[in-house]
Structure 1
């Protein structure tokens, strides 16, 4: 049965920092090799919030604009149903009209040095859904998957907000992969937001000796336990460095995964790691971070690694979600209609009343 596609749709449109508006815009038309997708849910990410506020460091380049490009539709973590595509796209992605799908947040060029080497997540043009006009995002009723996109089917049995969590979960799993966790490692995860909870679940799947979660909110630490954390520490009341050193005969943790985005979490990690430990940074920071680099070099000879996006981890994230092992009803705390996008942004900015906030197009 053919789906009737309207001529116009509701969409959130960026007009600059602190100026996002709900507008009626034309429904996009797919070109050769592309797909038109009806959006079912789109999550609001910390990077969406930083772009909304115009954080200059979001792009990592002072010569770039400090916010998403104007007249772009935000939203890079989403799920939806295919309503139109040609044979070329159907064959490339092994999908059909009616399939529920997700797409990686980056649309690679497949021509630059990084793409040619398989490191497509570092693609030089770096077209992400929801930040550039070339790749409009999912805060809308419909969106286009370009021919270059990476697309995966996902179960229709999952609630839409849960399926849209594939994106942050894939990011968390990539950070875990970067850490090269071993069976006898003590792994510490800083921050029990969406990324941190995914890191905990991913680290637990590696079956190390201990996975320890840090946060200042008891409710989020309870979620960390449900995701598999062996030990939780409220850093507002307890000293994580001392507790972890006591647990490890004075040595310190083997691996530290940072997912808070707070500058204080960086020296915390450097101090609680053992010599020759591994530090993995995932967060997008609003402010500059200053640390004593001699801890990294002369004192401990640490491996300090960055992590960006979720390359090669999307199939694993989908399997984890479809397994039902994660407490997704407790992670996906808020689903709001698209028209209440500002309330959603404010909830994420507050940080104390939600875990994952999603928008549901009407």
Structure 2
């Protein structure tokens, strides 16, 4: 089977051995695969990425960087074959994949961060028996691949426990930040101010319900927020950019009792001045995956339901499509750095596309 492998700075399209599911696994054929911010970190900051997952005890994400790795944990897929213990899914089902699998050694792995279990950038993938969402008729199975990254933004809103008395600033309007915008807008939060250097991303934020957008290179988002918010509102800042020291740069201007929900993963050490945070009663909460006491990933289910119910159009977030040969270009286009202008938001990899060209939705008519 064909797959895109990554090793020590190089992407390569290779033929890999075919996979067969054990009694508790599903064999699926990816339809559309997204590139996550954590994929960018794994490629650009491999040592720091591996150190962080190892310290967190996430052994299922601790890949060997000297061996081929097939990335991709945001994807939709068609079920090809199921193990004998699998009863909830059947061949032909179209799924939003929860990227996990239990290996033959009994260890749970995150699909896309295991050398032994290829991720979505492969013609076929093994996944675990549970947690996937069946895509109904009327929902585009390609665009549904944005469900998992949007759910990260949704998750930050759920964990914030924000209600109508609160207002929000979102720093970073990539897929995660836009997920937070959608979740806040569907809950009637006002104001919602989005800060991002990219005009493309700011415009998408407006279509998803932001009340104001800001280029942080030109204006402080807190100033814009203060113009729109009531003085009695508590400010919730959803930090989805991963920009180094961004929180510290905002501390002086945010009001007392501001709550920061951090979902943007900076791979560098950040400066924090505890005295200022203490004196202003600032709250910092770092967020990933299910919250304390959750038995399942609630945010993923809520995101999928809102998409299925038509509360937002997932296609608006997809700025380009390419095939396996275009994966290296896609990573480069999404990679922040210096004064580089980033106009891409979500690039979907479609295995059936040939070459490395970037296509628009209008060109493909998906």
Q: How many angstroms does 1:163 deviate by?
A: 1.1
Q: Partners of 1:284 and 1:208 in 2: how far apart?
A: 25
- Cα gap change, 1:176 to 1:106, in 2 (>3 Å): farther
Residue 145 of structure 1: SS of its match in structure 2?
strand
Match for residue 132 of structure 1 among 111, 114, 122: 114
Match for residue 50 of structure 1 among 41, 49, 61: 41
Q: Deviations 1:156-200 (Å, cap 9, x if unpaired)? A: 543343111111011111111111101111111111111111110
Aligned residue runs from structure 1 range 95-134, under 5 A: 95-107=89-101, 127-134=109-116
5+ residue gaps, structure 2, are 291-296, 353-366
- Cα gap change, 1:200 to 1:96, in 2 (>3 Å): same
| Alignment check: 8 A CA contact 1:337 1:361 kept | yes
2:299 alignment partner in structure 1: 313
| Alignment check: 8 A CA contact 2:333 2:344 kept | yes
2:346 alignment partner in structure 1: 356
User: Are 1:74 and 2:71 an aligned pair?
Assistant: yes
Q: Deviations 1:272-293 (Å, cap 9, x if unpaired)? A: 4322221100011132211222
2:263 alignment partner in structure 1: 282
Match for residue 282 of structure 2 among 269, 281, 302: 302
| Alignment check: 8 A CA contact 1:52 1:67 kept | no
Q: Partners of 1:180 and 1:321 in 2: how far apart?
A: 21
1:88 alignment partner in structure 2: 85
Q: Partners of 2:204 and 2:233 in 1: how far apart?
A: 24
| Alignment check: 8 A CA contact 1:68 1:132 kept | no
Q: Partners of 2:316 and 2:108 in 1: how far apart?
A: 33
1:3 alignment partner in structure 2: none
Aligned residue runs from structure 1 range 171-250, under 5 A: 171-248=152-229
Q: Partners of 2:253 and 2:172 in 1: how far apart?
A: 15
Residue 195 of structure 1: SS of its match in structure 2?
helix
C-alpha RMSD of the superposition? 2.6
TM-score, length of structure 2 as denominator length = 0.83
5+ residue gaps, structure 1, are 1-8, 113-124
Q: Partners of 2:53 and 2:173 in 1: how far apart?
A: 28
1:343 alignment partner in structure 2: 329
TM-score, length of structure 1 as denominator length = 0.84
Q: How many angstroms does 1:134 deviate by?
A: 4.4
Greater CA deviation, 175-184 or 307-316? Answer: 307-316
Q: How many angstroms does 1:270 deviate by?
A: 3.1
